[in-house]
């Protein structure tokens, strides 16, 4: 397939490159390098190689961890190693990220001088090994979010794409943390969910507009779909990043995307969906979860109606005289059976997949409005 076909299917661009499938390989120190990725490249869109320790303190920690029996990437010149590794991936269609352990903002900033904007820079705020925490990296950053924000800002001052890998449930409030990463300039939040379910993804989706990668045991399409329908943009796999698992997920996700048009469409709000589900909500005329959601967001019913009407104006979603509220703007997901909506979709000259893609466009605009055009502190 060509890039434009992948874009049509998933609509994902990271670090200025079209991503061919919303599946990533998550880093495993000592294991995930360029060759590991190349052996699995057919079914992954993004890969985070590493983690690589990039300064004296974190290199020392890596040596200590290796002595304790962990497999680590131990190289005398990590900058050269990272340059070589990223070059190996340059010709592939896998978007490259590098998972880095640095103990200061300067360490992160320095590395951009070698690699420029060719790669996504992922800060490892996840590692819970004692030597790494003592070095001032990994989970240390989740207890010192101001330092984490400074590292993000240092990277962003070099105009590169930044991901932050976190472990859920370490910071006292993951929603507050996510919003602070966004405000510091991060582009991606990569979350190891541990034992938390999709509710954690929804909480983070409702707190920031970051690109969300859900991680931990994403082995089945059911689990992946649960993450997608509550706000994840991508899933990642580490321990089970074998070809068979990756291939099976890629096939199932692609089939779903081709059939339904919007691969990570949210559940409707009344079924526990995240804020993107406002695109499927009716006019605010009955007592349902839309009303408290609007109240929590500080949006009046009139404002909500006006903004949706504005966004569908001139699009096929403004049609639909036979529907409950006279316009497809207020209609539900394609998975809720409704002959009036389906008839209107056909009359508007759309397929179900195209209808869902139009709903996605409205959802994107609504999220942009919520997070950028209105006061940012209002979100749930």
Ligand X SMILES: Cc1cc2nc3c(=O)[nH]c(=O)nc-3n(C[C@H](O)[C@H](O)[C@H](O)COP(=O)(O)O)c2cc1C
Beta carbon of residue 45, minimum distance to ligand X (angstroms, whole number): 15
Q: How many CA atoms lie within 13 A of 142 on its CB side?
A: 25
- Chosen residue from 184, 290, 299, 317 binding ligand SF4 by CB under 6 A: 290
- Chosen residue from 12, 18, 28, 331 binding ligand X by CB under 6 A: 28
Cα→Cα distances 313→192, 306, 362, Å:
40, 11, 11
* Neighbouring-strand partners of residue 25: 47, 237
Work out whether 338 is an interface residue with ligand SF4 (CB under 6 A): yes
Beta carbon of residue 303, minimum distance to ligand SF4 (angstroms, whole number): 15
Nearest to 10 by CA among 319, 348, 367, 255: 255
Residue carrying the six token digits 């209002």 = 378
- Restricted to residues 136-175, the positions that interact with ligand X (CB under 6 A) are 165
Work out whether 332 is an interface residue with ligand SF4 (CB under 6 A): yes
User: Is 257:349 a contact under the CB 8 Å cutoff?
Assistant: no
Residue carrying the six token digits 């996504």 = 120
Residue 294 binds which of ligand X, ligand SF4, none (CB < 5-8 A, kind-dependent)? none
Work out whether 317 is an interface residue with ligand SF4 (CB under 6 A): no
Angle at 176 between CA 170 and CA 180, to 5 degrees: 105
DSSP structure string for 187-202? -EEEEE-TT--HHHHH
Please give the size of the binding site for ligand SF4, defined by CB under 6 A. 17
Beta carbon of residue 51, minimum distance to ligand X (angstroms, whole number): 3
Is the CB of 148 or the CB of 282 nearer to ligand X? 148
Work out whether 208 is an interface residue with ligand SF4 (CB under 6 A): no
Residue 129 binds which of ligand SF4, ligand X, none (CB < 5-8 A, kind-dependent)? none
Nearest to 233 by CA among 280, 270, 188: 188
Is the CB of 241 or the CB of 323 nearer to ligand SF4? 323
Work out whether 281 is an interface residue with ligand SF4 (CB under 6 A): yes
Give every CB contact of residue 33 below 8 A, 6+ residues apart in sequence.
Answer: 49, 73, 85
Q: How many CA atoms lie within 13 A of 75 on its CB side?
A: 18
Work out whether 348 is an interface residue with ligand SF4 (CB under 6 A): no
Is the CB of 181 or the CB of 290 nearer to ligand SF4? 290
Beta carbon of residue 371, minimum distance to ligand X (angstroms, whole number): 26
- Restricted to residues 109-128, the positions that interact with ligand SF4 (CB under 6 A) are none
**Binding track, positions 195-234, relative to ligand X; x by CB under 6 A:** --------------------xxx-----------------
**Crossing angle of helices 301-312/290-297, nearest 10°?**
100
Question: Do β-strands 13-14 and 17-18 pair in parallel, antiparallel, or remain unpaired?
Answer: antiparallel
* Four-CA torsion 91, 41, 5, 18, nearest 10 degrees: -60
Work out whether 331 is an interface residue with ligand X (CB under 6 A): no
Work out whether 50 is an interface residue with ligand X (CB under 6 A): yes
Work out whether 51 is an interface residue with ligand X (CB under 6 A): yes
Work out whether 29 is an interface residue with ligand X (CB under 6 A): yes
Work out whether 359 is an interface residue with ligand SF4 (CB under 6 A): no
Work out whether 272 is an interface residue with ligand SF4 (CB under 6 A): no
User: Is 167:126 a contact under the CB 8 Å cutoff?
Assistant: yes
Residue 186 carries which DSSP code? -
Residue 136 binds which of ligand X, ligand SF4, none (CB < 5-8 A, kind-dependent)? none
**Tokens standing for 135?**
């070095």
* Neighbouring-strand partners of residue 98: 49, 121
- Restricted to residues 104-133, the positions that interact with ligand X (CB under 6 A) are 124, 126-127
Binding residues for ligand SF4, rule: CB under 6 A, are 268-270, 280-282, 288-290, 323-324, 330-332, 338, 340-341
Binding residues for ligand X, rule: CB under 6 A, are 26-29, 50-51, 99, 124, 126-127, 165, 192, 215-217, 237-239
């Amino acid at each position: 397939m060509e890039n434009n076909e992948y874009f049509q299917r998933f609509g994902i661009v990271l670090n200025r490159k079209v991503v061919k499938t919303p599946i990533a390989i998550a880093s495993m120190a000592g294991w995930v390098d360029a060759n590991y990725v190349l052996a699995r490249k057919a079914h992954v869109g993004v890969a985070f190689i590493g983690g690589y320790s990039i300064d004296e303190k974190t290199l020392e920690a890596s040596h200590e961890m290796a002595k304790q029996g962990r497999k680590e990437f131990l190289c005398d010149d990590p900058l050269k190693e990272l340059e070589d590794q990223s070059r190996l991936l340059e010709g592939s269609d896998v978007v490259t990220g590098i998972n880095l352990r640095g103990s200061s903002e300067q360490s992160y900033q320095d590395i951009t001088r070698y690699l420029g904007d060719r790669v996504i820079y992922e800060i490892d705020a996840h590692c819970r090994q004692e030597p790494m925490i003592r070095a001032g990296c990994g989970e240390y950053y989740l207890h010192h979010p101001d330092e984490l924000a400074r590292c993000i800002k240092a990277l962003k001052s070099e105009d590169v794409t930044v991901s932050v890998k976190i472990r859920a449930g370490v910071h006292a409030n993951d929603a507050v943390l996510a919003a602070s990463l966004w405000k510091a300039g991060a582009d991606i939040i990569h979350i190891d969910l541990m034992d938390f379910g999709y509710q954690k993804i929804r909480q983070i989706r409702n707190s920031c507009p970051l690109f969300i990668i859900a991680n931990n045991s994403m082995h089945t399409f059911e689990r992946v779909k649960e993450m997608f329908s509550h706000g994840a943009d991508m899933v990642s796999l580490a321990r089970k990043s074998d070809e068979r698992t990756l291939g099976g997920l890629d096939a199932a996700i692609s089939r779903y995307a081709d059939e339904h048009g919007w691969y990570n469409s949210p559940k409707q709000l009344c079924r526990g969906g995240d804020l993107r589900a406002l695109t499927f909500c009716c006019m605010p005329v009955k007592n349902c979860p839309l009303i408290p959601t609007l109240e929590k967001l500080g949006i009046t019913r009139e404002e909500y109606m006006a903004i949706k009407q504005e966004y569908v104006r001139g699009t096929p979603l403004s049609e639909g005289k036979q529907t409950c509220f006279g316009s497809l703007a207020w209609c539900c997901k394609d998975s809720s059976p409704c002959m009036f909506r389906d008839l209107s979709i056909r009359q508007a000259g759309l397929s179900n997949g195209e209808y869902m893609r139009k709903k996605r466009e409205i959802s994107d605009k609504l999220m942009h409005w919520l997070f950028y055009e209105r006061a940012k502190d209002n979100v749930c």
